[in-house]
Structure formats: C-alpha cells, structure tokens
Amino acid sequence: MMIDENRELFQSFSLLHDQYAKDQDGLQEKFNKAGERILDIIREYENRLCRNTERGIYSKFSGNLAEKFQNEARHNFPMIDYIGLVVEKFSIKRINL
C-alpha cells in the first residue's frame, strides 16, 4: 500500500538507490536529500501499522511488527541505512624535509 500510493517517488528513489550502490562518492548528497522523504514515508506507514496494534490485544507484538516492517524496507533498499551519512574526505599533508 505504501509503495502503491507513492509509486513515482519510490521508482525515482529506486533508480538513485541502484546508482548509489554502484558509486557512492558523487551521489551522497543527492541520496541523502531523496532518502529523507522516503524515510518520512516509511516512518509514517510504520506508525499507521503499529498504532493500531498497540491499542489492541496484540500490543505485545507491536515491536516485532515494527522490526519486520523495517527489515522489509531494508530488503527492498539495502543501502537505506546510509541515508543521512556525512562523508568528509581527508588528505594527509606531505612534509617536505
């Protein structure tokens, strides 16, 4: 349901995700920006799903359900944990003797 309602956004992110998986250097900033919206949508649907179970007789299973939902998102987008990553490049200065 989450992907069906946001199909265009997930399709464009999927393409970017595949590019990022191959070459992370030049795409980190773009990946962070696009991934921020994707994470918001994933959290929104996770909250919708778990909110209903927390109130009922199945409240003890709510934590496991949230974990399974996140694992399914990671299954579809394995690099999703890299969203928001800040990469600082460093160089070693050469000492002239």
Range of the domain at 38: 2-82
Does 36 reside within a domain? yes
Structure confidence at residue 54 (pLDDT): 67
Does 94 reside within a domain? no
Does 88 reside within a domain? no
Q: What is the pLDDT of residues 70-79, one digit of tens each?
A: 999 999 999 9
Does 46 reside within a domain? yes
Instruction: Give pairs for 2-9: CB < 8 Å, separation 24+.
Output: 2/41, 2/42, 2/45, 6/41, 9/37, 9/38, 9/41
Task: Please give the tally of structural domains in the chain.
Answer: 1
pTM for the model: 0.77
**Taking residues 52-73, what's their average pLDDT?**
79
